[in-house]
Amino acid sequence: MKIAIVTINNPSLHAAKELLPYLQEHQCDVYNKSEDHDNFIVFNKLDDILEDAWNNYDAIIFILAIGAVIRKLAPLLKDKSSDPAILVMSLDLKKIIPLLSGHLGGANALAEELAQKIPNAINFVTTASDQTNRLAFDLFAKKHHFSISNLKSLAEVQNTILNGKKVAVLSYPAIFDLLKSFKGYTEENFVFYLPYEMPPQDMPKVYITPQHLNNDTLQLHPRFTLGLGMNRDTPKEEIKEAVIRFCFEHSLEFGDIEKLASFEAKADEEGLLAFAKEERLDLEFFSKDAINALEHNFSHSMATKFFGIKGVAEPASLLASKYKTLFINKRIYGNVTIAASF
């Protein structure tokens, strides 16, 4: 992490110097009022540096009064998904308070890291899910690099879990297994449904799918892989248009595409290669043996007749995906066939 340590007097500057050895794995700058050298930056007033620190550091550690920190930071607060991690520490470094952006910003994790390293230090974490060792969906999303929609719905979901009641999770078996192995999972708090099933109306819901659904429930979005098949010499423009249309029709974000995949016979398709290069997307090709080794019932494909394989778009997307889940079967757009897995 890129960390700013903010001090306002000689005792807090001395504390910052003692703190630095515990942060050797991070890039640190020390804001202070007397020393200007290396990564030590002199300032006159807190107001002169806070906005710059807020916008340019992953975390800010304040060694000063917590009340002053709250008053000074209040005008800068935007959103828990984008605010930097904020910690406050005592002069003796024994008391650590992750004040802001505990999960998504990483304040709780940084505070715990310091508490483990500094002898006799105490991490005063106040996040309820951490204190009660309950699964937190924002932390789960951060761990697995899922984006989040409708973050405002997180509070209702987490409070339901904290109150010992059930939350409906609508997703796929691979994600269910992932949740069950995550810190704080408790069987009595979760009921699992496939995306097309209907949980009780009054039960808070969490959708975990690459698709951005038209509702106000909490949604976590894994990135996805597109499997592509195309007729010989299909131009780049037609491939791109087909991918854009596919994403639009299935409520997918073009920017969430993790990689492209196809059959090795398509490795010399200039249009496909040019599209992948233009969009800076990884492109992976799979052999006949790899495709035919899959134990999966794929849609009927002309590739079976021409190449002796089970398909192109569907098996290629599945082979290239992280969680081996085919969630959209192939669709045909003129000369281009597309399927999606994650």
Please check the confidence at residue 228 and state whether its pLDDT lies above 90. yes
| H helix count then E strand count, the chain | 13, 17
Q: Residue 183's pLDDT band (boundaries 50, 70, 90)?
A: very high
Which pLDDT tens digit goes with each residue over 307-340? 888 899 999 999 999 999 999 999 999 999 999 9
Q: Residue 303's pLDDT band (boundaries 50, 70, 90)?
A: confident
Look up the CATH number of domain 224-341.
Answer: 3.30.420.180
What mean pLDDT do residues 91-100 have? 96
Q: Residue 214's pLDDT band (boundaries 50, 70, 90)?
A: very high
Rounded Cα–Cα distance for residues 134 and 211 (Å): 26
Which pLDDT tens digit goes with each residue over 59-82? 999 999 999 999 999 999 998 889
- Return the higher-pLDDT residue of 126 and 281: 281
What mean pLDDT do residues 161-179 have? 96
Backbone angles phi, psi at 286, to 5 degrees: -125, 150
Q: Residue 302's pLDDT band (boundaries 50, 70, 90)?
A: confident
Which pLDDT tens digit goes with each residue over 252-267? 999 999 999 999 999 9
Q: What is the DSSP string of 161-182?
A: HHTT--EEEES-HHHHHHHHTS
What mean pLDDT do residues 275-279 have? 98
pLDDT of residue 234: 98
pLDDT of residue 68: 94
Q: Residue 296's pLDDT band (boundaries 50, 70, 90)?
A: confident
Residues 186, 152, 1, 116, Cα dihedral to 10°? -40
What mean pLDDT do residues 222-232 have? 97
What would the two tokens of residue 181 be? Answer: 């192995």
pLDDT of residue 131: 87
> Given the structure tokens 């190449």, which residue do they identify?
307
Helix (H) or strand (E) holding 270: helix 270-278
pLDDT of residue 132: 87
Q: Residue 148's pLDDT band (boundaries 50, 70, 90)?
A: very high
Please check the confidence at residue 44 and state whether its pLDDT lies above 90. yes
pLDDT of residue 129: 82
Q: For strands 147-149 and 218-221, give the pairing.
A: antiparallel
pLDDT of residue 342: 97
User: Residue 249 to residues 3, 172, 257, 281: CA-CA distances in angstroms?
Assistant: 42, 20, 15, 21
Q: Which CATH class is domain 2-126?
A: alpha beta
What mean pLDDT do residues 277-300 have? 94
Q: Residue 306's pLDDT band (boundaries 50, 70, 90)?
A: confident
What mean pLDDT do residues 24-52 have? 95
What mean pLDDT do residues 188-213 have? 95
Residue 247 CB neighbours (<10 A): 22
What mean pLDDT do residues 47-64 have? 96
Domain boundaries, the chain: 2-126, 132-221, 224-341
Please check the confidence at residue 300 and state whether its pLDDT lies above 90. no
Query: What does the mean pLDDT of the chain come to?
Result: 95
pLDDT of residue 64: 95
